[in-house]
Amino acid sequence: MTLDADWAERWVRRTAEAVEAAKDELTELDRQIGDGDHGENLHRGFQAVVARLDAAAVEVSGLDTSDRPVGDVLKIVATTLMSTVGGASGPLYGTAFLRASKVSGRPQLDPSSVVALLEAALEGVASRGKAQVGEKTMVDAWQPAVDAAERAAQDGGDEIAVLRAAAEAADKAAHDTIPLVATKGRASYLGERSAGHEDPGARSTALLLGAAMAAALAGPDGGADGAAA
Amino acid sequence: MSAPVALVLVSHSTDLARGVAELAGQMAPDVVIRTAAGGPDGGLGTSVEVVQEAIRAALDDAGRAGVVVLADLGSSILTVETVLELDEDLADVVRLASAPFVEGAVAAAVTAHGGASLAAVLGSAEDAARSFAGSGREPGSGREPGSTASAAQGSAGAGNAPGESTTPPPWPHAGPGIAADRRGDPGQSATVTGRVIVRNPLGLHARPAALVSRKVAELGARVRVDGVDASSVLQLMALGATEGRELLVEAEGPGADEAVRAVVGMIEGGFGEV
């Protein structure tokens, strides 16, 4: 299984599906400790991404795109999310994909370049949001994901093993935000009352990284892959 | 002819941005103030594209001297920072102010109205939190350094209130005076002082404060009203000076006489509200 631009497309299409399925859950999480628009905003953003990719797919149909840099897809995702999401997650995920696109200029990613992609994304989220671990934000899912991805790569894992490590760590870490008291973002206005709820941004990060792994496992023709459309 | 520096107000809410633009615009009619508000679906939110368009339009309008951006809550700030990261050409001419939305916009607009530089407009926005929330009587709190404050205190103790020499500074209690008389030791930097009673019921509220601070900026003299920097609209407003209050107007340096007369005259005139 190679991680190429087609994988990146499948990744974001699967993310769009996952966000759609979890839209109400994300919105409900955000309603408890934020402004209640995270699910709607991300759904709108990723639907717009899918529309952009569909339009681009028509343009390149029939051409050989095998040497297309992975970063090209990520850049489209970045700019589309920035323009269409509307809440803080637009600039945050937009910057994550933008920074990731800058380190993904090659047509195929090996395990270390997957780690580099994730590190760049984390760096984008953390610097844009000026957030650190423990503040009950997306960073609380991104940082453990990157740490796990690095360990997997060091242990000689292939690119799927790296993505799997990241996805599993993010899923657990999102759950681990429940007892945290928010000190960044809209939830921080609630102070102690923000404890007891999962952070919606950490949850959507887990969805995103889960989709990255699923897209890699499924392969070009695999399963319920949205890219087949 | 519009001022060289323009403002862009970024808010989640179109109503909020429009309201602040109206407020700031009333005090600084020659400043280009553009709003970038609301999300991609037209509801509450922010959009990179909307902010990009507003900044570009403001740069065109203002003759490209620069744009100071004010943003309301979290994602507005993130959105502006993202726009600046996406378009590196903007870095030299566009600055995001770390300032409260309303006070920063008002202060920046009034400063921009006098033709100030990008750095000066940014500075006045970023001073806004301090000069508005803090005591208006802190002479060092604005753009003027501490040396001005100590000079001012010296002349007050020596010239105005000899009987209170043990407690020199507070201007409002320095004793009665006569409008636009000249005081101070001719050997030192001459301080011109004047006294005036506020005549309009609302006193130095936003519009009159803006008129005074613009006049002071235009004359270029260093003027204080009851100890605060009269070129700062927010410090003037923070005096809370309403009808019947006596104010001490002081100026130093070239044009001091004219500046004191002008400010006293404006306040005495009641700003068309009496």
Query: What is the pLDDT, as a whole number, of residue A1?
Result: 66
pLDDT higher than threshold 60 for residue A144: yes
Q: Which residue of B has its CA nearest to A34?
A: B74
DSSP letter for B137, please: T
Residue pointed to by tokens 């009333």: B26
Alpha carbon of B121 to those of A212, B118, B207: distances in Å? 46, 5, 19
pLDDT in tens, B258-268: 999 999 999 99
Query: What is the pLDDT, as a whole number, of residue B146?
Result: 34
Q: Do A92 and B78 touch (CB under 8 A)?
A: yes
User: What span, in angstroms and rounded, lies between the C-alpha atoms of A51 and A117?
Assistant: 24
* B52 confidence band (pLDDT: 50, 70, 90): very high
Looking at the fold, whether B123 and B149 belong to one and the same domain comes out as no
Residue pairs between chains A and B whose CB atoms are closer than 8 Å: 59
Q: Can you read off the two tokens belonging to residue A103?
A: 């380190």
Residue B68 lies in a domain: yes
Query: What is the pLDDT, as a whole number, of residue B147?
Result: 34
Region of B152 (left: φ > 0; alpha: ψ -120 to 50; beta: rest) is alpha
* A88 confidence band (pLDDT: 50, 70, 90): confident
The average confidence (pLDDT) of chain A is 90
User: What span, in angstroms and rounded, lies between the C-alpha atoms of B179 and B193?
Assistant: 7
Residue B207 lies in a domain: yes
Query: What is the pLDDT, as a whole number, of residue B1?
Result: 62
* A143 confidence band (pLDDT: 50, 70, 90): very high
Q: List the domain range (segments joined by +) for residue B83.
A: 6-132
Q: Do B75 and A88 touch (CB under 8 A)?
A: yes
Contact between B41 and A44 (Cβ < 8 Å): yes
Q: Can you read off the two tokens belonging to residue B188?
A: 């030192």
**A131 lies within 8 A of chain B by CB:** no
User: What span, in angstroms and rounded, lies between the C-alpha atoms of B151 and A101?
Assistant: 58
Alpha carbon of B56: minimum distance to chain A alpha carbons (Å) = 16
| A217: number of Cβ within 10 Å | 13
DSSP letters, chain A, are: --EEHHHHHHHHHHHHHHHHHHHHHHHHHHHHHS-S-HHHHHHHHHHHHHHHHHHHHHHHTTS--TT--HHHHHHHHHHHHHHH--STHHHHHHHHHHHHHHT--SSEE-HHHHHHHHHHHHHHHHHHHT--TTSSSTHHHHHHHHHHHHHHHHTT--HHHHHHHHHHHHHHHHHTTTTPPP-SSGGGGGGGGGTTS--HHHHHHHHHHHHHHHHHHH-TT-TT-GGG-
Catalytic residue set of B = 12
Percent of chain B at pLDDT > 70 equals 77
Query: What is the pLDDT, as a whole number, of residue B92?
Result: 85
**Residue B90: HSE in the Cβ half-sphere, 13 Å Cα cutoff:** 24
pLDDT higher than threshold 60 for residue B216: yes
Under DSSP, is residue B107 helix (H, G, I), strand (E, B) or coil? helix
Looking at the fold, whether B146 and B267 belong to one and the same domain comes out as yes
Give the pLDDT mean for B91-111. Answer: 92
Percent of chain B at pLDDT > 90 equals 44
Contact between A162 and A153 (Cβ < 8 Å): yes
CATH class of A3-216: mainly alpha
Query: What is the pLDDT, as a whole number, of residue A54?
Result: 92
Of A84, A86, A128, the CB nearest to B81: A128
Assign residue B225 the CATH number of its domain. 3.30.1340.10
Query: What is the pLDDT, as a whole number, of residue A58?
Result: 76
Query: What is the pLDDT, as a whole number, of residue B189?
Result: 62
Residue B144 one-letter amino acid: E
pLDDT higher than threshold 90 for residue B234: no
Strands B67-71 and B94-96: parallel
Give the pLDDT mean for B87-95. Answer: 87
Q: Do B81 and A129 touch (CB under 8 A)?
A: no
Alpha carbon of A98 to those of A78, A101, B69: distances in Å? 5, 5, 23
Q: Which long-range contacts (CB under 8 A, 24 or more apart) does B171-176 make?
A: B171/B137, B171/B224, B171/B226, B171/B227, B171/B248, B171/B250, B172/B226, B172/B227, B172/B246, B172/B247, B172/B248, B174/B248
Give the pLDDT mean for A158-163. Answer: 96
Domain layout of chain A by residue ranges: 3-216
Overall number of domains in chain B:
2
Give the pLDDT mean for A200-225. Answer: 85
Looking at B78, B105, B132, the residue that finishes a domain is B132
The average confidence (pLDDT) of chain B is 79
Strands B67-71 and B33-37: unpaired
- Evaluate the CA torsion angle A169, A171, A173, A176 in order and state its sign: negative
| Packed helices B74-86 and A70-84: angle between N→C axes, nearest 10 degrees | 140
Q: Do B45 and A84 touch (CB under 8 A)?
A: no
User: Which of B208, B241, B220, B24 has the alpha carbon at shortest distance from B136?
Assistant: B241
pLDDT in tens, A36-58: 888 899 999 999 999 999 998 87
Assign residue B99 the CATH number of its domain. 3.40.50.510
Looking at the fold, whether B264 and B166 belong to one and the same domain comes out as yes
Residue pointed to by tokens 């803080």: A88
Looking at B106, B132, B158, the residue that finishes a domain is B132
Of B40, B47, B78, the CB nearest to A88: B78
Alpha carbon of A66 to those of A115, A212, A215: distances in Å? 22, 19, 17
Residue B55 lies in a domain: yes
User: What span, in angstroms and rounded, lies between the C-alpha atoms of A11 and A2?
Assistant: 13
Query: What is the pLDDT, as a whole number, of residue B62?
Result: 66
pLDDT higher than threshold 80 for residue B152: no
pLDDT higher than threshold 80 for residue B87: yes
Residues in Cβ contact with B9 at an 8 Å cutoff, skipping those fewer than 6 apart: B17, B20, B21, B24, B33, B34, B35, B36, B37, B69, B70, B101, B105
Quote the ipTM score: 0.71
Looking at B132, B153, B186, the residue that finishes a domain is B132
Query: What is the pLDDT, as a whole number, of residue B184?
Result: 44
Residue A209 one-letter amino acid: L
Give the pLDDT mean for A132-161. Answer: 96
* B159 confidence band (pLDDT: 50, 70, 90): very low
**B87 lies within 8 A of chain A by CB:** no
* A133 confidence band (pLDDT: 50, 70, 90): very high
Contact between B10 and B71 (Cβ < 8 Å): yes
Looking at the fold, whether B143 and B266 belong to one and the same domain comes out as yes
Percent of chain A at pLDDT > 90 equals 68
Residue B1 lies in a domain: no
